[in-house]
Amino acid sequence: MRRDGIIQMDSLTNQEPQIPKQSYELRILQSLRRIIRTVDMHSHKLGSLHKITGPQLGCLQAAKEHGPLTSAKLAKKVYLSPSTVVGIIDRLEEKGLVSRQRDSKDRRLVYICITQSGEKMVADTPSLLQDTLASALVELPEQEQVAITMSLEKLVDLMEARDVDAAPVLETGPLSAE
């Protein structure tokens, strides 16, 4: 940092761009962009290396950990809408990673069961980025966890985004995606 309070970018190392120290809005936007970019890169890595999306992996992990589950209960476990989860289940079933099984007593109930291929996929695929974040957050003192939470919630309010529906599943991409 220079004496005049400007954070400089070293053109050879591609580090910090020149942002005046007091330009907090620029620093906040840069941090948000880094977060979004990290989520996007992780999502692309899952897709290209493992042929699965973050929400699909989250559903598989929930089916393994809590299954068999109805699609409505699975939706609650992964914080997605039931209609979104039905589409995810369709794609997971096409890939042979889950199966649907009717309840023997109440035929209206359909359970989502993870297959052996699905269990192998969960075992072979790196954890979701949100798992990594959750692990790191619990290591922080509670006061820091509260400060981060309150700061982010205040940022949401400042952006007038409180009514924007956002499940706590880290995933980016087109809005029409699962």
pLDDT at 168 over 60: no
Lookup: tokens for 109: 């109930």
What residues have CB less than 8 Å from 41, skipping those under 6 apart? none
Domain range annotation of the chain = 1-50, 52-149
Tokens of 111: 């359970």
In DSSP terms, 70 is beta-bridged to: 111
pLDDT (tens digit, 9 = 90+) per residue, 14-53? 666 666 667 888 888 888 899 888 888 888 888 888 898 8
Q: If DSSP codes are grouped into helix, strand and coil, which group holds residue 6?
A: strand
Assessment of whether the complete model's pTM goes beyond 0.85: no
| Confidence check: pLDDT of 137 > 80 | yes
Are 53 and 47 within 8 A, CB to CB? yes
Classify residue 72 by burial, with Cβ atoms within 10 Å: 0-12, 13-18, 19+. Answer: exposed
Q: Above 70 in pLDDT, residue 13?
A: no
Q: What whole-number distance in Å separates Cα of residue 127 and Cα of residue 46? A: 10
pLDDT tens-digit readout, 143-165: 999 999 999 889 888 888 777 66
CATH number of 52-149: 1.10.10.10
Nearest to 88 by CA among 105, 75, 101, 77: 75
Which pLDDT value is given to residue 29? 87
What pLDDT does 45 receive? 84
Give 173 or 36, the one with higher predicted confidence: 36
Confidence label for 178 from pLDDT (cuts 50, 70 and 90): very low
Is 69 a residue whose pLDDT tops 50?
yes
Q: Answer yes or no: are the C-beta atoms of 128 and 135 closer than 8 Å.
A: no
